[in-house]
Amino acid sequence: KNKYMDLNTISLLIFGLTVLIIGGNLLLKAAVSISLRFGIPKLLIGMTVVSLATSAPELIVSIKSALKGSPDLAISNVLGSNIANLGLVLGITILFSPISISKSVYKKEWPIMMFSAIYFFLVILDGAISKIEGGILVCFLVMTISALIKLRDKSEVELENSNEDSLLKSLFILFFGGLFLFYGSEWFIDGAIMLANSFGISERIIGITVVSVGTSIPELVT
């Protein structure tokens, strides 16, 4: 019976993750297509649409985990995804091809990343993150993106304009991408919680390993 339950749990986890990844890719494709169609600068698309779309699985999974009463899963997914972005996404990418680092990375982006990490550390010292502290993080994100767009040389971020989809088709893809994200995240979270309960592992450990690596796959592919 336990083996049967474990098999069902793993199947639900894998199926949910697959649907989640497909949804993230559809959302990315549609968002870029619509942005290009409306003449939004490619620089802006690269720094906002692409980065936010590939983070949609983490966002949806964390929100749903919190709403389902699993805050450990939500916060560990955020932490684990940041670790996976450096260790998994960047590490595997470099194995395929070495990356040249421009000076702007450690002059602009790196200090911002460190400031975000330190701010996060400070707000969790009291054992909770308030809505005000969360709002400050969102405001910081908006200000950071705005500042980087103004400071960055426009030649640094360029996307190939392969937009051949009509607006209607792009909207359909966007709709189905959102639908896949919604249901995929639902199944993926249920599978993760069942896996934690089945093996007697805390949701925090499952979130920082299985869930965070799974939701980081769109970044890896991109």
Q: What is the pLDDT of residues 113-149, one digit of tens each?
A: 888 889 989 998 988 888 999 999 999 888 888 877 7
Query: Which residue bears the tokens 């980087």?
Result: 148
pLDDT (0 to 100) of residue 210: 84
Q: Is the pLDDT of residue 32 over 80?
A: yes
**pLDDT tens, 175-194?**
888 888 888 888 888 888 88
pTM for the predicted model, two decimal places? 0.72
Q: Determine the average pLDDT of the residues in 82-96.
A: 88
Say which range, 62-66, 138-142, 149-153, 160-164, has the weakest mean pLDDT.
160-164
Torsion 136-212-180-129 (CA) sign: negative
